[in-house]
Structure formats: structure tokens, C-alpha cells
Chains A and B, each alone.
Chain A
Amino acid sequence: MNALDAVRSALDSLRASPLRSALTMLGIVIGVAAVIAMVAVGAGARDQVLRQIASLGTNLVMVGQGSVVRSGVKLGAGTASSLTEDDGIAVLAEIPGVTVTAPSVRWGLQVVAGNQNWGSVLFGVTPDYMDARDWSVVQGRGLSDEDVAQANKVVVLGQTVVRNLFGGGDPVGEQVRVFSTPLTVVGVLGEKGQNTQGQDQDDVILVPLSTAKRNIPGMAKSNPRFVHTMVVKLADGTDQEEAQAQIRDLLRQRHRLIEGQDDDFWMRNLSEVAATRDASSRALSFLLAAVAAVSLLVGGIGIMNIMLVSVTERTREIGLRLAIGARRRDILMQFLIESTTLSLIGAAVGVLAGVGTAMVVAGLAGWPTLIRLDSVVLAVAVSGLVGVFFGLYPARRASRLNPIEALRHE
């Protein structure tokens, strides 16, 4: 008996009791659908994060003042002005592969326009910083080098600020005040939405770095050259780890830190952020794998059960087939192909159901979903193996029947 005949005969006998076949497949259907849908949701979320990160560029390194949080204790935080504009200049000058260093300061404050008042975050930045952080302007213009050089009293507003102060009207040319300093609005930033931590990235105002230092009381008291963070941009193909090590050495040297003393700055690159995300999504994947394994196991046991019933019901048929010339392995293959066909059809239905579920989730919850071809291939392959594995025992049983007794079976 060739494979095509075997598959055709398997389909015939599954069609003979459609409801039973459908119910038997259900375990596999649910298992596969759950895997496909959950992987799609997980992959969609991860893909979104990766795209956000890619839009920032992975060849960026953020350097900030103060120490990293270690074991819950913030070490050396607030150490007065550990990072300066001169550090940035030195990094640019001395570390090979560094193309830009963009300093910034940030300050939480109230912004006033007319009789409207809004709490937001001010960034004192340079045009380089805007480029590096992918801050684009949709109305008016961005900050220029001239604004920075002359400490012009200009400001670029994020969408959330525009909405709250101007009710969505065009603010370009209008005045806002921070700490009673009037600033002229020259531009509006494009909408960025929430970042990966759920913060509103549109609730910001940008002013030239020099303007921030000159006009915000208390900001530049101890050291007029200080910065909160700086973005270091590396040329394509630069060894990031190598560059980071060099930056660290240089900053430690400039800050006169001795051996054994902790860094008084932190450093982070975006691929590290990606890696953290990756690790948490891997934990999720293990959970998914466990769910999938359990449902496929249950589905497999269902298949085995129904195949055993089928072998008993069809004892005479098996006897007849043996009598007219089927070899034992023909009978074995017939039942194996039947159980595998069951599980594969279940898997196919499960794939469709999983894709459908993912689409519904995407539509209703607004979550991004991404159907991963590898999850489909894996789910179908595993289902096939489940069909073979759990079909083996019933099939062996069928193939070992004595034809004489089988033909006498009622």
C-alpha cells in the first residue's frame, strides 16, 4: 500500500465519524492555537520594542551623572556635578569611533501660557541631542546651533504640552513662561507616544542647553559646565564594548577616581535595554512552552484513546485486510497515518484559530501581534510527532491481531 492510498483511506475513516474526529482534534487545536496566538502577541510586543530601539539607534551610548542603582542602594547619587560638558568634549576628542557627544540637562517644572499652567519636563539640549534621540519637528523649526550659542529664549514643545496649554491650536510664535522667563515657541515635536517604560514621551519642552543653565534658578550654581546626561554616538562598525570601556576609563581618570572607588556616572547602551527585554520575553516563552506541552500531551492522550476505540471497532476490517494480503506493517502504517492525519488536521485548524485569535487581540486590545513562521512550523511539527507517538501503541495493537480471530470478532 503506498502512502497516498494510506492517506486517502485515513481521511475516509476520519470522515466516517466527523464529530468524533473533531472532538479528538480539539486538544491539539487548542494547544496549537494557544501557542500561535501567544507567540504572536509576545513577538508583536517584542517587535515593537525592538523597532523603538532601532529607531533610536543601537550605536548610541547614554552616559549620566550619579551611580547606578546597586542592590537597591543608590551609590553616590547626587554627587555634585560629576559630569560636565568638558567630559563630552574630551570623549569626542580622545575616543576613536565617537562621532557625536550631545550633552543635556533636565528639570521638572511648571510651564505657563496665558492663564494655563502645566507641569512638564524641560530638557536643555543641543541640536545634536535632538538628532541622536530622534526628536523630529512637525511644526515650526527645531533648536539651532545659533540658539545654543546665543542662549536664545526659544522653546520647542511636545504634543502633550501643546494640548494642555494651547488646546491643540498652533502655538508657534506664542509665548510661554518657565520660572518667569518668557520663551518664544519656535516649534512642535512629532508625536512619540509612550516609551518602553510607559512614560509619555510627548510631555516635554526643549530649550537650548545654554538657555536652561542661564535662566533656571539653581541649575548651574555649583558648576556652570555640568550636564545630567549625554548621548555618545559611535560610528557604524565601532566595537561598542571597546568604546564603552575606553569612555569609562577616560571619565574615571578625569573624575580622579582611584582604584576600588565606584563610578560616579552610569552608562547604558540600547542593546542592553533590548537584552533585558529579551530575557523577560524568554521567561514568557518558557511559560508558553509549558502550556503548549500540557495541551499537546492531553491532545495526544485523546488521540491514543480514540485510536484504541477505533482499532477495537474495526477488528473485522483489520482481519479482512490481513486476509486479502495486507502485511502487518501495512496495518501499522494505516493506523499511524490515521492518528498523524488527525493531529495534523488539528494542528492546521489550530494554526488558523491561533492566527484568528491574534488578529482579534490586535483588533480589540490594540496590541501589536506578529505571526511567527517558526512558531507555526514548530507547532505543526510537534503535533505531527504527537500523532505518531500516541498513535504507535494502538497501531501496533492493530497490526498484531490474529486474522482468524479478528474475522470472527463481532
Chain B
Amino acid sequence: MGPHRVQALDNVSVEVRRGEFVAVMGPSGSGKSTFMNLLGCLDRPDAGHYRLDGQEVGRLSSDALAAVRNRRIGFVFQSFNLLPRQTAQANVELPMVYAGIPRAARAATALKALAAVGLDSRAHHRPTQLSGGQQQRVAIARALVNDPVLLLADEPTGALDSATSLEILALFQRLNRAGLTIVLVTHEPDVARFAGRVLSFRDGRLVDDRHQVPEEAPGLREAVP
């Protein structure tokens, strides 16, 4: 990369334990997304190690990384990234398509995942027929459908109003209580307070790593269908 080499992350050493709910914070350009891309096996570290569930993934082949992303990681994006012409159900089925799961089994699992996020009645709606919050629920159902060990969410509430954000956060909290490990990027302390641990980045360095007692999301109980 020559003279414009950017060191997006520098000397970051973190261990996230199974079942944790971690919020990643920091100013824009501090390396949060870069950190998430490493955790999500979308990127490989130029130096150092990343061990996922005990497995060193830094040296895996591109196909093996695809399989890791497919089976063990779920992604949730700020902009949802649903396929616009596909129904909610078809969107949720997509990771199973790449996992080679037969059609009938896919449909059943997708409907179950949609029910888990409270959208079973919207299985045949297209993204354009759903609100932002509903679209993000579909995206969460898609992330969960292959039963991952780690859920990565980069500013999942960035495009949502505060009420809807709370619903999504309640959903995350519920999934975390059920045992799912979650790492979530956010700018807002309001969001981070629902996590049990907050990592703070600045200029590519981890400047703070703080455990806290998570606040209980309002409507957590009601969010359970």
C-alpha cells in the first residue's frame, strides 16, 4: 500500500467469552468496523491471531472462511441488506441455501426463525412492504438461522428511531439471555447500556474495556412472543 498505509487496528488484544453481550464504541474512524470485519472473518489480520471458538482462523482458505461465516457467524448490518425482490422467508433462507440444506427443511427453519423475531405473519412480504424495524428483524432472523456461535451487529439501530431501536435491543438481549454471544457496534451510550461489557476504540487502539451490569431493555418481557 506504500506511503498511504493505514493501520486501522493496532495492538488490540481482546477475549470475548461465550455468552457475552459486548458493545463496541468509539469515534468515527477509530477502527470499530475493521475490528468487526476481523471477528466476522471477512478480513484477515496482517499480523497477529484470531481464534474463534478455539480455532485459529487467520490461515484458513477462502472457502473455509466462507464456511465459518456461514455456520458460525451471523451478521446484522445498519442498512439491513435484504434482497429487495425476495420475500422475508426467502431472505431468511439464504444462508441455508449456501449451507446446502434441502428446500423443505429450509422453509421450516426459516418460518421458525421468523416466529422467533415475531414476524411469522410477514413471511411472504417483501422488504419494501416492511417497516425498518421489521426489516431489521428479518435480517436478525437471517443471521440466526444457521445457529451461529457469534452474532455481529455493526450499528444495527443506526437507521431506526429510538422506540424501534429499543425493540431491537430487547430482542438482542433476549437472544443473549438464551446463550448467544453478541458483539455490537454503536455510537450511542444509550445503546451500550444494555450490554454487559463495553470496548472503546480510539485511533485503532483499544482504550477501554469495561464490564457493567446491563440495564434491562424495556419491553424485554413483552418481546418474547
Contact = CB atoms under 8 A, between A and B. Distances in A.
Interface of A: 1-2, 5, 12-13, 16, 316-317, 319-330, 403-404, 407
A16 B81 CA distance: 17
Contact of B69 (A5, A16, A316, A325): A325
Interface in B73-89: 75, 77, 81, 83, 85-86
A324 B98 contact: yes
B142 interface: yes
Contacts of A316: 81
Contacts of A321: 94, 98
Nearest to B75: A323
A323 B71 contact: no
Chain B at the A interface: mostly helix, strand, loop or mixed? helix
A329 B63 CA distance: 9
5 contacts: A2-B100, A5-B97, A326-B70, A326-B98, A327-B63
Given A324-B69, A325-B69, A16 B42 contact: no
Nearest to A314: B83
B189 to A, nearest CB: 26
Contacts of B43: 404
Contacts of A326: 66, 70, 98
Chain A at the B interface: mostly helix, strand, loop or mixed? helix
A83 to B, nearest CB: 80
Interface of B: 37, 40, 42-43, 62-63, 66-67, 69-71, 75, 77, 81, 83, 85-86, 94-95, 97-100, 103, 142, 146
B142 A324 contact: yes
Contacts of B103: 5
Contacts of B71: 325
Given A13-B85, A329-B63, 11 more contacts: A1-B97, A2-B100, A5-B97, A321-B94, A322-B42, A322-B66, A324-B94, A326-B66, A327-B63, A330-B98, A404-B42
Contacts of A328: 62-63, 66
A253 to B, nearest CB: 83
Contacts of A322: 42, 66
A242 B181 CA distance: 91
Contact of B77 (A317, A330, A407): A407
Contacts of A317: 83
Nearest to A408: B33
A282 to B, nearest CB: 49
Nearest to B139: A320
A320 B81 contact: yes
B222 to A, nearest CB: 30
